[in-house]
Amino acid sequence: MRKETKHDLPIHIILLLLGILTFYPFVFTIVTSFKDNFQFIHNFWGVTWPIHLSNYKDAWSRISRYILNSGIVTTSSVFGVLLVASVSAFTFARFDFPGKDLLFFAILSLLMIPGILTLVPSFLLVKRLGLLNTYWALILPYISGGQVFAIFILRSFIASLPEELFESARVDGASTLQTFFSIAIPLSKPILVTVAIMNILGTWNDYVWPLVTIPDGRLWTITVGIVSFSSQYSGLEMWGPMFAGYVIASIPLIVLFFFTMRYFIAGLTSGALKA
């Protein structure tokens, strides 16, 4: 097992300090979710009484119909990204072929175009493909966009895996695909989880794209529902239900995080090297 470091207490102190500062916005969200508008205006920071559980009832009434949409869109997109990106990242990482760097850069460069410039052309494209008001209008662009980041991150990770592992598998007669599934993927679990989390957050919280590509509002995602609690007129927003909506929306995410964190286990490589 790993060597124990002698001084753990200073580590705990620093980490706890960082943790408290980092966790505060989440606490703020929860506290605010129980306030009514007037409490929020008069008291920005503190806990106020009475608490308004009805905010959750209000938030639920507006976003419950969208939860399934968010679930479907996010899950499909994340699976799609992981699938497509890991294959491509593997290819870039472990093979050499003409134009490899060029193709890789061609993919990476897509991250460098500011989003507002591509909004209208992307929208018109999706419309022309007849995908408006369907889940595909969201899922396909999310997979396509999300894979760019994912390929970039996964590639560097897979490239740093030791060559011996692949050699020995090939010597044993494994095909490319088999080395992919039995070596590359298992060893990349922590980074795959990271990519999954990034994509989950990105698609779950995305607001503008579902707003514009689902004109009939039926397949809107949860975030669009939550934003409807704000207002263009100051004083007419509904902060309490909005924050309650944020809390409700974060529950599936937190559950997902707990679930995926199990894969973030140390010592994964120890087993592989000994094989």
Partner 1 sequence: MYRRESKTVWQEIIKRKQCYILLLPTFLLLLTFNYYPAISAIYHSLFDWDGANFIRYIGLGNFTNMFQDPTIPLSFLNTLKLTIASLIINLTFPLLAAVLIFHLKDMKYAYFYRVLFVIPMVVPGMVVFMIWRFIYNPTSGLLNQLLISMGLSQLTRPWLGDFDLALYAVIFVGFPWVAGTSTLIYLAGLQAIPIEILDAVSIDGASTWTRFWKIELPLIAAQIKLIVILTLIGAIQGFVNIMVMTNGGPGETTMVPGLYLYRNAMYYNKMGYACAIGTFLFLIILILTYINFKYLKSSVEYQA
Partner 2 sequence: MSNTGKISRMVLVFLVISLMLSSSMVIGAEKKVVKMYAQALTPREKLEADRWDPPKYMWTLEKEYEKLHPDVDIQFMPEIPTGYEEWLVTQMTGGTSPEIVWYQRGYIARDYQKGWFVNLTPYLNQPNPYVKGNKKWIDIFQPPVIASGTAPDGNIYMITGDIVGTGIFYNKDIFQKVGVSVPSIWSQFLKVQSKIKAAGYIPFSISMDLGGGVQLWGSWCTRELQDVLYDHKMSEIKGVKEPVKRTWKPGENLPPQVMVKAIKNGTYSPKDPEWKEMLRILKDWSQYWPQGFWALPSDDVYRLWVTGKAAMGWFGSWQNKPVRFDPLRKFEWGVFPKIPKITKDTSPYGGVDFPAMAGVGGVFQYAIASSSEKRGVLNETIDWMRYITAPQNLIPLLNDHGGFAPGTKDTKGADPSLKVYTDQMVKYGTERIEPFDSMLTREFVDNLWKLLQQYLAGKIDIEKMTDEVQKEMNKAADQLLAEHPDWAK
Residue whose CB is less far from partner 2, 77 or 104: 77
244 lines the binding site for partner 1 (CB under 8 A): no
* CB-based burial, 200-236: b 16+ in 10 Å, e otherwise: bebbbbbeebbebbbeeeebbbbbbbbebbeeeeeee
Site for partner 1 in 99-118 (CB under 8 A): 100, 103, 105, 107-114, 116-118
Site string (117-156) toward partner 2, x via CB under 8 A: --xx--xx--x----xxxxx--x-----------------
Q: How many residues does the chain have?
A: 275
Backbone angles phi, psi at 40, to 5 degrees: -65, -40
235 lines the binding site for partner 2 (CB under 8 A): yes
182 lines the binding site for partner 1 (CB under 8 A): no
Among 39, 74, 77, 147, binds partner 1 (CB under 8 A): 147
Site string (188-227) toward partner 2, x via CB under 8 A: -------------------xx--xx--xxxxx-------x
Residue whose CB is less far from partner 1, 186 or 215: 186
Q: Which two tokens stand for residue 98?
A: 């003409």
Spatial distance between the Cα atoms of 76 and 140, rounded to a whole number of angstroms? 9
DSSP 181: I
Tell me which stretch binds partner 2 (CB under 8 A): 115-123, 155-163, 190-198, 260-268.
Answer: 115-123
* CB-based burial, 10-48: b 16+ in 10 Å, e otherwise: eeeeeeeeeeeeeeeeeeeeebbbbbbeebbeeeeeeeb
Spatial distance between the Cα atoms of 85 and 119, rounded to a whole number of angstroms? 23
245 lines the binding site for partner 2 (CB under 8 A): no
Among 166, 181, 257, 264, binds partner 2 (CB under 8 A): 181
Orientation angle between helical segments 136-159 and 115-128, nearest 10 degrees: 130
Tell me which stretch binds partner 1 (CB under 8 A): 46-54, 59-67, 208-216, 257-265.
Answer: 257-265
- Interacting partner of 49 out of partner 1, partner 2, none (Cβ under 5 to 8 A depending on kind): none
Spatial distance between the Cα atoms of 111 and 147, rounded to a whole number of angstroms? 10
Half-sphere exposure of 46 (CA within 13 A, CB side): 7
- Interacting partner of 50 out of partner 1, partner 2, none (Cβ under 5 to 8 A depending on kind): none
Spatial distance between the Cα atoms of 205 and 212, rounded to a whole number of angstroms? 15
Spatial distance between the Cα atoms of 214 and 78, rounded to a whole number of angstroms? 20
Among 37, 75, 134, 205, binds partner 1 (CB under 8 A): 205
160 lines the binding site for partner 1 (CB under 8 A): yes
Site for partner 2 in 54-73 (CB under 8 A): 54-55, 57-58, 61, 72
Q: Which residues bind partner 2 (CB under 8 A)?
A: 36-39, 41-42, 44, 52, 54-55, 57-58, 61, 72, 75-76, 79-80, 83, 116, 119-120, 123-124, 127, 132-136, 139, 181, 185, 207-208, 211-212, 215-219, 227-228, 230-238, 240-241
